[in-house]
Amino acid sequence: MRYRHVLWDWNGTVVDDVEISIETINGLLQARGLPEITVARYREVFDFPVRDYYLRLGFDLQAEDFGDLAREFITSFEARFHTCELRPGIAETLGALGERGAEHSVLSATEQGKLRTQVETLGMTSSFSALVGADNLLAAGKIARGRKLLGQLDAAPEQVVLVGDTVHDAEVADAMGIGCVLLDGGHHSTQRLQRTGAPVVTDLDALGRHLST
C-alpha cells in the first residue's frame, strides 16, 4: 500500500453525527426565532471556521458572544452524542488497512478533551496511534495542528493521506502537502466535495479499495 499513515477526520467521517449536529443547531436557531435548516441546506452552509457558518445562519454575533454560542452548542451536542454510531464499516476498514501496513491517527476540529471522550465513548481509542484535537471550542480549523502532527509521524508527506468529509479537509491536506480522499455523506454535499478536485468515494468499502491500490 502506498500510504504508511492515514489521518482521519472524526466528526462526519469516522462517527456519523450529521443528524445530531442539525438537531442541535436547529435548537439554537429556534430559541432565537431564526429559520431552522434541513439536511440539504446544512450541507451547503456548514463550513470552517464555524464562526462564518453561524453568521450565514443569521446569528447576530454583535449581540451575542460567539464563544457563548459555541459552548451552548457543545453542551446540547454532548447530550445527544450517546445516540451517534460509527460509520458503517469503519472498524473493518481500519483493520484491513492496518493489515496492509498503515497506521491511523485522528485530526479533528473538536476540542482535545472532548475528542478523547467521544473516541472513548465509541470504543475506538485503541484504533488510533494519536488523537489530535483543538485547544478550544471554536472549531476554527486544523491546518496548524495538522502540520505539527505531520512532523511527528514516521512517514514522508507522500506516504500520508487525510480522509475527511468536508472542503476544509481538502484544504488541510493541500496545506500539508499530503494526499486526500473525501468521504461522501458527511457534513458537506457531494457537489461541494467534488469541486475540490480531490477523489470522492461513496462509502468505506470504496475508500478501502482506493487506498489499497
The predicted model scores a pTM of: 0.94
127: three-class secondary structure by DSSP: helix
For residue 93, give the DSSP letter.
H
The owner of cell 451552548 is 72
- 5-16+85-212: CATH topology is Rossmann fold (3.40.50)
Buried b (16+ CB within 10 A) or exposed e, 113-127: ebbeebbeebebeeb
Contact 106, 130 (CB under 8 A): yes
Give the H or E element holding residue 55: helix 50-57
Among residues of the chain, what percentage have pLDDT more than 70?
97
In the predicted model, what is the mean pLDDT of residues 67-75?
94
Residue 162 and residue 104: Cα distance in Å, rounded? 10
Res. 111: pLDDT tops 70:
yes
185-196 confidence digits (pLDDT tens): 999 999 999 999
138-195 confidence digits (pLDDT tens): 655 688 889 999 999 989 999 999 999 999 999 999 999 999 999 999 999 999 999 9
Q: What is the pLDDT of residue 213?
A: 75
25-39 confidence digits (pLDDT tens): 999 999 999 999 999
β-strand pairing of 5-8 with 160-164: parallel
Contact 51, 168 (CB under 8 A): no
